[in-house]
A = this chain, B = another copy of it.
Amino acid sequence: MTTAPTIPTLDDVARVAGVSTATVSRCLNEQQKVSAKTRERVMKTVEELGYTPNFNARAMAAKRTQTIGAIIPTMENAIFARGLQAFQETLHAAGYNLLVSSSAYQPEMEAEQIRALVARGADGLLLIGSERAQASYDFLARRGVPAVLAWTSTPDAVNASVGFDNCAAMRMLTDRVLAMGHSRIAVISGIIKGNDRAEGRLRGIQQSLMAHDRNPDTMPVIETAYEIENGAIAFEALMQAEPRPTVVMCGNDVLAAGAINRARQLGLHVPDDVSITGFDDIELASIVLPALTTVHVPHREMGRIAAEELINMIEKRNPGARRKLEVSIVMRDSLEGV
């Protein structure tokens, strides 16, 4: 004979402890509003019965969930992991929980997940980048759910954001590359559609070229999804050109790692035969050989600030600011002068 699994409720606790449900609720939420003696008794029965508050019921009654939702493009590479970790640590310290979902870089899926997280009662949202359907912003505004946009800097947007200027960062790196005497730049970019970070990075290269009286239109560019193997394939394709590029600038470190690997397979020496640059400065950048010259992004700081900003918006009901972080160039071995 097995007894049917009986899930204890507030009522059960109240009955056993000989108090009202309100008192039990107060013991759990506002301890100071109940006498030490009854609190002790109540907590003991909570323990005995193995009572766990039903989250959904609590959310309905309180209209708050202490839950933040985050939608990132992917968990499959480390770009967002570190920032998200800091984000979640900061939230946790403030008594919030984090719900993460990934959109696989698909805008429709992101839109769907925004609705799902709001439907679950998320008090606020962390989104990556600024490029999405206006309908999503309208939806959030209508529901009164604050959101902060990370990994991007959007001077023109009305939303709170924490990030950096992808375009300026890549322009800075390109300036360095040009100053080192490189004449033929080729680019492996992430998919630009729906991704303002990728777009900004490519634009940065183009701007630098124009500022140096070079024509950006003749520059070879391959657009491909952020995966190592894609970086390798694109690199090999770019290397068919005659004359060869002197440097291949990549939209992120993952693509650059693929490029470096393929270079070795092709018998090309980096940086003597060709230089390669990345973006993000994830751990991978210092593991590949030669180590990657890249743009360092303060991921953890970004996550922390995003959390602080979001909590402020939720609790103080303020509109949220646009916080811009500084990035820096990390010179390693994959780039040298010609």
Contacts and interface: CB of A to CB of B under 8 A. Distances in A.
Contact of A289 (B57, B115, B228, B289): B289
A93 interface: no
Nearest to A89: B104
Interface residues of A, number: 45
Nearest to A54: B119
A263 B120 CA distance: 50
A338 to B, nearest CB: 24
A172 interface: no
Interface string A38-70: 000000000000101111110110000100000
A65 B288 CA distance: 44
Interface of A: 5, 7, 50, 52-57, 59-60, 65, 75-78, 81-82, 84-85, 97-101, 115-116, 118-121, 139, 141-144, 228, 257, 261, 264, 283-284, 287-289
A118 B51 CA distance: 12
Contact of A98 (B52, B101, B257, B284): B101
A180 to B, nearest CB: 25
A7 to B, nearest CB: 6
B116 A55 contact: yes
Given A81-B76, A82-B76, A287-B261, A55 B143 contact: no
Given A5-B142, A75-B85, A85-B76, A56 B120 contact: yes
B75 A141 contact: no
A119 B8 CA distance: 12
